[in-house]
Chain A
Amino acid sequence: MNMYVKQRIKTKGNIMLENEILEEILYNLREINDKLDKLLLKKDEDPLLNKKVKPDDSLDVMMLLSLPDHLRTTATTLFEIGPATAEDIAELTRKERAVESNYLNQLVRMEHVEKYRSGRKVYFHISSKIC
């Protein structure tokens, strides 16, 4: 057999081997995909797996110290006087009611503070999750 024929047979063998490997990879990928689909379905059904894990957002004195100045003053005042309206806080911090209302709502979004309505007034208090 001459060298040219020998080379053709070798190349043909390599191409066949590569096709087999690719087929095997494809098969494995399909398997992984199926397993992932099953896991995703299971996650949607399981309330425990679905639960959002929240960082510890307790408003303690060290957290107070790490807040920006404007929010710290508002939060410290709220700590001192207990449940209060934005107006109560503004009276003590000598800022505008609207400004304090904005700061308090920022603290609510950060989950350090909670708010509730009593009659026509909205009260804020340090998050009860820590009580």
Chain B
Amino acid sequence: MTFTIAVHSAKGGTGKTSIAVNLAAAYALDGMKVCLLDMDMRGPSLCTYFKPDPDSVSFWVNDLLSGKRGINEIIYDVSGELKIRGKLSVGYSNPDINEIRELASKDRKWQSNALKNIIIGKKELIRNETDVIIFDTGPGVEYESINAVAASDIVLIMKNSTRSCFECTEQLYNGVYKCLNKRCVIVNNMHHCSLDGKIAEQENSEIPVLATIPCMCNIATRHDEILALSDQEHEFSRAIYAIKQKLECFH
């Protein structure tokens, strides 16, 4: 049974891409068939992580959303390069600024069709016996991100310790996730222990917290590594495995 996760947050810079990439790698490391899609169309970042050869990427997630290409034409197998037991395929969002600008001008009809095309793509991945689909989304109420949330089974909400992030997450929970009947879990990222008391007061008891990852400088300095693969004993990697294990209860 395919399980679809949307990694989303109210604010930018909460570590969505980092968690999405490492979680995808952790699933693939476990022998699963995983598809990671960059739905952060306004600020694409999977190309920065996986550094695909520009000549090898002919089609993008943009082509899936516009209905020009099917899901199987826009995903690229990276398992060989990463030397993992399972299979990890990645769909990149086009980082070309002209493409990003064009996308920003799309109307509601286009976005409505984009949601249909995501669902068609998801059904195709289910037919291909993909175990896990992960949508790495952009922050806030962006069309592409909310489309991805709508097409997911669970929303992994990334949160940092700021008051504004807490308030915006509450708004998103009540105004989007709940309305779409989505199951939600929280990952507190870049957490500061000194804020523990204040954070506890803020927590929404309706949403389970899967993990609290402390703020670690060496994650920032090792940003071009997939720690879940390169350093499995790292505190961050262990948190990723724990998230993966806890998510299994929701499959």
Contacts and interface: CB of A to CB of B under 8 A. Distances in A.
A66 B115 CA distance: 16
B180 A65 contact: yes
A61 B106 CA distance: 14
B108 A58 contact: yes
Given A76-B180, A80-B119, A126-B116, A64 B108 contact: no
B66 interface: no
29 contacts: A58-B107, A58-B109, A60-B108, A60-B109, A60-B111, A60-B112, A61-B111, A61-B112, A61-B115, A61-B143, A61-B146, A61-B150, A62-B108, A62-B146, A64-B150, A64-B179, A64-B180, A65-B146, A65-B179, A65-B180, A69-B179, A72-B179, A76-B150, A76-B181, A79-B115, A79-B150, A80-B119, A130-B109, A131-B116
Contacts of A58: 107-109, 112
Contacts of A130: 109, 112-113
A17 B175 CA distance: 69
B94 interface: no
Contacts of A79: 115-116, 119, 150
B209 interface: no
Nearest to A72: B179
A62 B109 contact: no
A56 interface: yes
A59 interface: yes
A26 interface: no
Please classify the interface of chain A as helix (H, G, I), strand (E, B), loop, or mixed, using the class held by over half of its residues: helix
A53 B116 CA distance: 26
Contact of B113 (A65, A72, A131): A131
Contact of B112 (A59, A72, A76): A59
A64 B143 CA distance: 12
Contacts of B181: 73, 76
Interface residues of B, number: 18
Interface of A: 56, 58-65, 69, 72-73, 76, 79-80, 126, 130-131
Contacts of B108: 56, 58, 60, 62-63
**Best-buried of A58, A61, A62, A69 by chain B (most CB within 10 Å):** A61
A59 B113 CA distance: 9
Contacts of B180: 64-65, 72, 76
B32 interface: no
B176 interface: yes
A70 to B, nearest CB: 12
Nearest to A67: B179
A63 B150 CA distance: 12
Contacts of B143: 60-62
Contacts of B109: 56, 58, 60, 130
A126 B117 CA distance: 13
B147 interface: yes
A65 B175 contact: yes
A112 to B, nearest CB: 10
Contacts of B115: 60-61, 79
A62 to B, nearest CB: 7
A73 to B, nearest CB: 7
Contacts of A73: 181
Given A58-B108, A65-B146, 10 more contacts: A59-B112, A60-B109, A61-B146, A62-B108, A63-B112, A72-B179, A76-B150, A79-B150, A130-B112, A131-B113
